[in-house]
Amino acid sequence: MEIQAAKRVTVYTWIAVIVFTLFLMLCVPLFIRMPLATDVVLYDLQAQTALSGGTLYQDVFETNLPGIVWLHMLVRPLVGMSSDALRVVDLLILGGSILLLMFWNCRNQFSITAMLWMGITLFAFYFSLTEWCHFQRDTLILFPALVALWLRRKQTDRILEAESLSHKTSVLVVWGWGFLEGLCWATAFWIKPFVAVPALCVWIGSLFLIRQPRKMLIDFSGLLLGGLTLGAIGITWLWQTGAWPWFYETFTEWNPEYVAARKAGWNPLRFAQFLFRFYPWCLLHLIAVPLSFSTVWQCWKIHKQSKSTLETGQRDTLLLSLMYLGWLFQSYAFQHLFDYVHPPSHLLAIAVIGVYLGSRAQAQSLNLAWKMGVFLFTVMAVLSFPNFKPERIQLWPTCVLNQSNLQLKSELALMVQVDWDDLAAVKAFLEKQNLKDRELHCYNSTLVYLYPELAVEPATRYVFFDSILIFCPKHRRELMESVKTSPQKLIVTDLLESGFDRKTALAKSPNSNQLTPPAYPVSLKGAYPWSQPVVFRAGRYLVHQVQRPLGRFPASGYIPTEEQVREIARQQK
């Protein structure tokens, strides 16, 4: 019987290996050729500014901590400026996170087969996401956070297994590993500070497990000093590069408005759209949250009743559950309802459920309800998985044999933020204009791709101009002053991002002399940038020739209505 069981495990393991290999062979080329999100291109521009001698926050505006820019500054000189290369880096960092999650429960009789299927599921989730979620800060910080989680587990084991910390070497070892863990959490914090919430949850969990104040004080001092050390290094860099005053101004005078704008993003329609894009993976939270709370409650009961140290499997599950609950809480409580915020909590949810299922399967106690649930979810995931659709599979040979281009990106994009064919037409037009640095102003954030494609610097330091105008309306004067003093010659606008629906934005005027759509308020005067004459159009994109004086801003970052046009004219009189 044992020989048959071993053979069965071997067969199942090899099946998982083959499926894993074939799955990666299908998905990796398609993933690498997808377009980058606008945020990623912005961080590239910021990194190039800093690398070429510019000053971050002064020469290019940024509302976030500089950690993500540092990462781009580190990676880009090594791999080059292609989108494919950055996606390879993204895949490597994600692979590190997935390996750490796969092997999290390996010391608790977690089978190789279970680990392989967990890895397949984790990759399947990430490959199902739109390009808006790739190489974004939230998923990137998961890797150093998981490294810190592993160090926290090892530190917990080390303290519980030590007989005494009276020996000097033992104290230094505990303090040193705490210091290293602090460096990992601080690395993630510099990229996105919200990681502090799961970090705190994990540390409180270890405090509950150890319950030895003297040992925890030594551990905490190392942990804190590690974080402060990396924090001091980052602040020193900001000070020496001249970025500190601008960094301070941004976070004290601009960011309060930006943070307050998060509330406006939470509405029923956007939440429904978010759930649709994350279907069926969002359903996993309905399972992972109760499992995690159940783990916390059971560990509390066991400790309260027996007053003994929990077993390694219980400790591991508790720390992972606390990491997941903390991450899920901060992503919904403190952040925007943006897709890129939520992949880490889903990856952790998969790990929580996978650990539970793997342990039950190993103990042969997985009941029929769980088996049916896994089967139904697998069916939903397979049917909705984008890379299994025939039109994407047909692109696989092209992705393997060719580098990405605008045409291929347009066919692989899963979220229509950009009409790539029309953007390519705009690029071709602009290439003939012999533009120099700061002579092109891309008004909408979706147009940021034109800067690296044309190898020109933005007209102002506000690269995401329309977004900043919308989120920071009290600073409209600074924004207008920046465009007035810039040497811009051409402006590109995106009608879809500026208030038009797609049908209205793509409509053509019956008047052959009018490049703008019929709904465009042609009577605009002195309303920047809409009153600037249009010299080229490609679908939803307009290219405006700059004529001075530029005029004033309308009431918002969107195209004004005819009524607003009349109000602007009245104010100017």
Tens of pLDDT, residue by residue over 543-569, are 999 988 887 776 566 777 666 666 656
Q: Which domain holds residue 321?
A: 2-388
Asked if residue 407 belongs to a domain, the reply is: no
* Domain match, 202 and 279 both: yes
Please state the rounded mean pLDDT for residues 84-97. 96
Alpha-carbon distance 447 to 455, whole Å?
14
* Domain match, 470 and 360 both: no
What's the number of CA atoms in the CB half-sphere (13 Å) around residue 398?
A: 14
Asked if residue 225 belongs to a domain, the reply is: yes
Please tell me whether the overall predicted TM-score, pTM, comes out greater than 0.85 for this model.
Answer: yes
Lowest-confidence region among 231-235, 478-482, 504-508, 512-516: 512-516
Alpha-carbon distance 444 to 441, whole Å?
9
**In contact, 521 and 468? CB cutoff 8 Å:** no
285 CB-near residues (< 8 Å, 6+ apart) = 328, 345, 346, 349
Q: What is the pLDDT at residue 1?
A: 45
| Percent of the chain residues past pLDDT 90, beyond the cut | 59
Tokens found for residue 92:
């490597």
Burial class from Cβ neighbours inside 10 Å (0-12, 13-18, 19+) for residue 526 reads middle
Please state the rounded mean pLDDT for residues 230-242. 96
* Domain match, 122 and 235 both: yes
Q: What torsion do the CA atoms of 142, 379, 282, 322 make, to the nearest 10 degrees?
A: -50
Between residues 223 and 558, which one has the greater pLDDT?
A: 223
Cis (ω within 30 of 0) for the bond into 397? no
Q: What is the pLDDT at residue 501?
A: 86
Asked if residue 49 belongs to a domain, the reply is: yes
Q: Cα separations (Å) of 204 from 83, 143, 201, 210, 519? A: 40, 20, 5, 10, 58
Asked if residue 404 belongs to a domain, the reply is: no
* Domain match, 381 and 509 both: no
* Domain match, 463 and 365 both: no
**In contact, 96 and 184? CB cutoff 8 Å:** no
* Domain match, 383 and 427 both: no
29 CB-near residues (< 8 Å, 6+ apart) = 396, 399, 400
Lowest-confidence region among 247-256, 404-413, 481-490: 404-413
Asked if residue 400 belongs to a domain, the reply is: no
**In contact, 209 and 310? CB cutoff 8 Å:** yes
Q: What is the pLDDT at residue 573?
A: 57
Please state the rounded mean pLDDT for residues 290-303. 89
* Domain match, 93 and 132 both: yes
Please state the rounded mean pLDDT for residues 216-236. 93
Q: What is the pLDDT at residue 79?
A: 93
* Domain match, 429 and 380 both: no
Confidence of residue 307 (pLDDT cuts 50, 70, 90): low
For 461, the enclosing helix (H) or strand (E) is none
Asked if residue 65 belongs to a domain, the reply is: yes
* Domain match, 148 and 229 both: yes
Asked if residue 100 belongs to a domain, the reply is: yes
* Domain match, 476 and 370 both: no
Q: Per-residue pLDDT for 99 more than 80?
A: yes
Alpha-carbon distance 146 to 184, whole Å?
9
Q: What is the tally of structural domains in the chain?
A: 2
* Domain match, 245 and 348 both: yes
Q: According to DSSP H, which parts of 128-240 are helical?
A: 137-140, 142-161, 168-191, 196-210, 213-240
| pLDDT tens digits, one per residue of 383-412 | 999 999 999 999 999 999 988 887 888 889
Please state the rounded mean pLDDT for residues 416-421. 84
* Domain match, 484 and 444 both: yes
Q: Give the domain-ending residue among 344, 370, 388.
A: 388
Asked if residue 169 belongs to a domain, the reply is: yes
